Amino acid sequence: MNRSDVEQLIQHQADAWQRADFDAVGADFCEDGQLISPGGTWQGPAAIAAVAREWYTVCSGVQVDIKRILVDGNQGAVEWVWHETRRADNQVYTMKDGIIFELRDGKILYWREYFDPKAIKQ
């Protein structure tokens, strides 16, 4: 994949979360792809789509602002700001997120998110 292809894949992932398109979130991952966050580890498109669907039981909407994408061959990093509207109080919460990723055959093999759940701001 060239840099433009990688940027499109990252944008597609952000867009899928924003549209609440859980199958699209999962479809960007390899069959053995992993999503790792402070909340756990999920492997494979079905498990990743399921955790995205579960996330939307807490949130009614997500907005993702991509700040930068770094690419080095089949790996890279993303810095984005995640805004979620929580169903419990209809308030928007914001989180700064750093992501390390690795790709294989045009899909995500490894996606590790680094954020501090205690630093989420209303």
**pTM here?**
0.92
The letter for the amino acid at 26 is G
- Give the pLDDT score at 122: 61
Alpha-carbon distance 107 to 86, whole Å?
30
Query: Among 66, 59, 60, which residue's Cα sits nearest to residue 81?
Result: 66
Read off the DSSP letter of residue 44: S
Alpha-carbon distance 92 to 59, whole Å?
9
Cβ contacts of residue 54 below 8 Å, gap of 6+?
none
What dotted CATH number matches 3-119? 3.10.450.50
Alpha-carbon distance 10 to 81, whole Å?
13
Domain extent listing, the chain: 3-119
SS3 24: helix
The pair of structure tokens assigned to 43 is: 């492997």
What confidence tens digit (pLDDT) does each residue in 32-82 have? Answer: 999 999 999 999 999 999 999 998 899 989 999 999 999 999 999 999 999
